[in-house]
Amino acid sequence: MNKETSLDRSLKILVKSSLLVFVGIFISKIMLYLYRVIIARHYGPETYGLFSLSVIILSLFAAFATLGLNEGILRYIPIFRSKKDLGKISYLIKFSLRTVFFLSLVFSLVLFFSSNFISEFFFHNISLSIFLKISSFTIPLLVLSSVYLASIRGFEKIGWYSFIVNILPNVTKFLAIVIFVYLGIKREYVMISYFLGILLMLLVSYYIYKTKISKSLGISQVKLESRYKLKKHLFIYSMPIMFSSILGLVYYWIDSFAIGFLKGVTDVGIYNVVVPIALLLTIIPDLFIQLFYPLITKEYHRKNYKLVKEISKQVGKWIFILTLPLFLIIFIFPEAIINILFGYQYIIAGTALRILVVGSLAALLSGLLFTLLFTVGKSKLAFINLLVTSILNLILNLILVPIYGINGAAISTASVWIILTSILLFQVRKFLGFIPMRRKFIRIVIVTILPLAIMMVARSLVEINFITLSLIGILFLLSYLVTLLITGCFDRNDLMIISSF
């Protein structure tokens, strides 16, 4: 009975935090897509391509500067909290801040002075240089924010974390770009709107850390020999994660690099309207993962292995149930969605979107699987996974992009997503003895046939625009939920969560 109570309590905490995260992500995605839509529509595919490449390069430099220490303290905060050893938490946070601040200044200077070389040698477009120069000033802000945000997340302040990460910077970017367009500011300064969003994120995350966390930690009185051991363990765990984070960025953006190198920045701009649409499928996993990691880490170190298994399986099921409708809508109406959001000049990317969204569905549980590997301390294995699949992705892009253009990039990326997820499923099964999937996955897919048929009939009867697509989507979702309920796809835990509302 106690274990069932622990499971119920943990699931309710996850759902409660997920609702907070959902509000943040919902507002965030609206603001982010409006932000991108304004850049894409007002400035055109080339500028949108330059902007996309500069954000990718900025993210890579910032990942090097963090050394993965933000993820390291995220792991050790729940461990030391369970032992009530707040002094070690305080020391690790302060040490991480000093380290990443110095490194961020170094990488900022490197990017600033190498911007011309990167622009001309790799992407054959000197216009990218000014975007990169502005990006270089953003690196210290982004890196310091990552440590403060990891601390906030580690102390399970999910409401604040969601607001700072999801809402604040994207609303700021959106408002800034609207003002820039109104004032007629040139395209070269689009990146300033991005800089302003990250600056505000740093200021608020610092404020929340100082007022909500720092005061409770007290003075970090840690002996000299203990400091050495703490730093050693932190680096041993964090360094592979740094390379994993870099490879994760390369893994997701190597297709954009390949297109930029082999085709041009305009094709990058066209391709990058479909990547964020395909990645909409990651919204649902993000709702749960942000609290899932510290919660699972704490229970795993308490040796509550059965609880870890049940929570993982239940969260995996929720992710699948909630994401499947979004996948089907995007897969069936790719051109309509692109046209509504970004305009007719980007419709040629419809096939690429359909390919990418298939890969995104296959990779639906990859974030959950990576989290489970990190929980058991397999950060090096996660790095190897990303290294192998990134190399494979690069090879496939070099082969397919010259032949098929953006569709070749989509085929390459989707294939690698599927392969990586298969590898992760095998590894989690090996190290934890289970995979986060329930047998009802198959039943859920089968019962979706009827709602899907209703959507297909509706599609053939009306002209697809924003209003008709919204109505078809609502009709599909209602029939989908009713079918799941009637066919018994919801188990005791699902009904417990529903009734708790």
Q: Do 416 and 500 lie in a common domain?
A: no
Q: Do 349 and 485 lie in a common domain?
A: no
pLDDT of residue 407: 95
Q: Do 170 and 302 lie in a common domain?
A: yes
pLDDT in tens, 200-211: 999 999 999 888
The domain boundary, picked from 438, 465, 483, lies at 438
Q: Do 356 and 455 lie in a common domain?
A: no
> If 0-12 CB within 10 Å is exposed, 13-18 middle and 19+ buried, where does residue 438 land?
middle
Q: Do 385 and 462 lie in a common domain?
A: no
Name the 3-class secondary structure at 295. Answer: helix
Q: Do 345 and 463 lie in a common domain?
A: no
Per the structure, how many domains does the chain have? Answer: 2
Global pTM reads 0.74
Q: Do 130 and 146 lie in a common domain?
A: yes
Q: Do 357 and 451 lie in a common domain?
A: no
Q: Containing domain of residue 282, as a range? A: 2-438
Q: Do 486 and 359 lie in a common domain?
A: no
pLDDT of residue 13: 63
pLDDT of residue 222: 66
Q: Do 462 and 434 lie in a common domain?
A: no
DSSP, res 42: I
Q: Do 153 and 231 lie in a common domain?
A: yes
Q: Which residues of the chain have pLDDT under 70?
A: 1-22, 24, 82, 218-225, 290-294, 491-501
pLDDT of residue 358: 93
Distance CA 26, CA 319 (A): 16
Q: Do 157 and 243 lie in a common domain?
A: yes
Distance CA 495, CA 243 (A): 41
pLDDT of residue 93: 85
pLDDT of residue 3: 46
The answer to whether residues 370 and 383 touch, using CB atoms and an 8 Å cutoff, is no
pLDDT of residue 20: 62
Alpha carbon of 297 to those of 122, 187, 271, 439, 487: distances in Å?
A: 41, 45, 37, 25, 35
